[in-house]
Structure 1
Amino acid sequence: MNIALWIGQGLLAVIFVASGTAKSTQSRDRMLATGQTAAKIVPLPLMRVAGVSELFGVLGVILPWATGVARVLTPVAATGLAVIMMLAATVHGRLREPRNIAINMAILALAVFVAWGRFADL
């Protein structure tokens, strides 16, 4: 189970490093061109906050468990990433983008798996 959870944590890290970096550094037009369609209706400052939150979530989902320091932060960070995915699915629902909602739900399931597994390991 530990290996599956580490794989999940790694996948979350890769996904959210890419997404968080894009949201926190790119212009609205560039985000739209690269598939961040939420930028159509979400104000740019809120996109920046979401991006930075995702990057902090990446740190939280990896570092505490890897170092053994404040391990409770790993499942808390995974829970936070799950909340971000619920909010993203809501935005994509308003945009009528079922494919993006499905992707959000898959990432949400992965984040819940990591949170559940790591809370159980505490």
Structure 2
Amino acid sequence: MNIAYWIAAGFLSLFYLYAGTMKLIHSRDQLRPMMAWVDRMPLPAVRALGIVEILGATGLILPPLTSVVASLAPAAAIGFVSLQIGAVAVHLTIGDRRITLNLALLATAAVTIWLATGL
């Protein structure tokens, strides 16, 4: 089960580190082709979301790796489940039905919660 956690958490961490970094360093025009919803949110909110994603990715990896406050790992995964529920809602609200990636991330985060409780 430990190996499965590291695979799931590693995938989520890499994805959210990349996505969060993109939200922090790119302009709205650069983000628009990848994220159609950026025009509906203030840029500071997009930047804040990037920070949350980077912190969550760190929370999945560092606590179990260092054995310091390991309970942060399931909390980070719960945060990602909540984030993806919100993301699906935003996509559906703006009429964007391309939510397959969001549902896959939600499912992976949910499995990661379960795996993290066994660490």
Q: Which runs of 5+ in 1 are unaligned?
A: none
2:53 counterpart residue number: 54
- State, as a whole percentage, how many aligned pairs show the same letter: 37
Aligned pairs, number: 119
RMSD between aligned alpha carbons? 1.1
Q: Deviations over 1:45-103 (max 9, x none)?
A: 1111110000000110000011111000001011111111111111111122222x121
2:90 counterpart residue number: 91
CA distance in 2, matches of 1:5, 1:97: 31
TM-score, structure 2 as length reference:
0.94
1:27 counterpart residue number: 27
1:15 counterpart residue number: 15
Q: Deviations over 1:10-32 (max 9, x none)?
A: 00011101110111121111001
**Structure 1: 4+ residue segments shifted above 6 A:** none
2:78 counterpart residue number: 79
What's the secondary structure of 2:32's corresponding residue? helix
Higher helix proportion (structure 1 or 2): 1
The amino acid that maps onto 2:25 is T
CA contact (8 A) 2:22 2:31 kept: yes
CA contact (8 A) 2:74 2:112 kept: yes
1:117 counterpart residue number: 115
CA contact (8 A) 2:13 2:60 kept: yes
CA distance in 2, matches of 1:118, 1:31: 32
Q: Which runs of 5+ in 2 are unaligned?
A: none
TM-score, structure 1 as length reference:
0.92
CA contact (8 A) 2:19 2:53 kept: yes
CA distance in 2, matches of 1:70, 1:16: 21
CA distance in 1, matches of 2:37, 2:32: 8
CA distance in 2, matches of 1:97, 1:5: 31
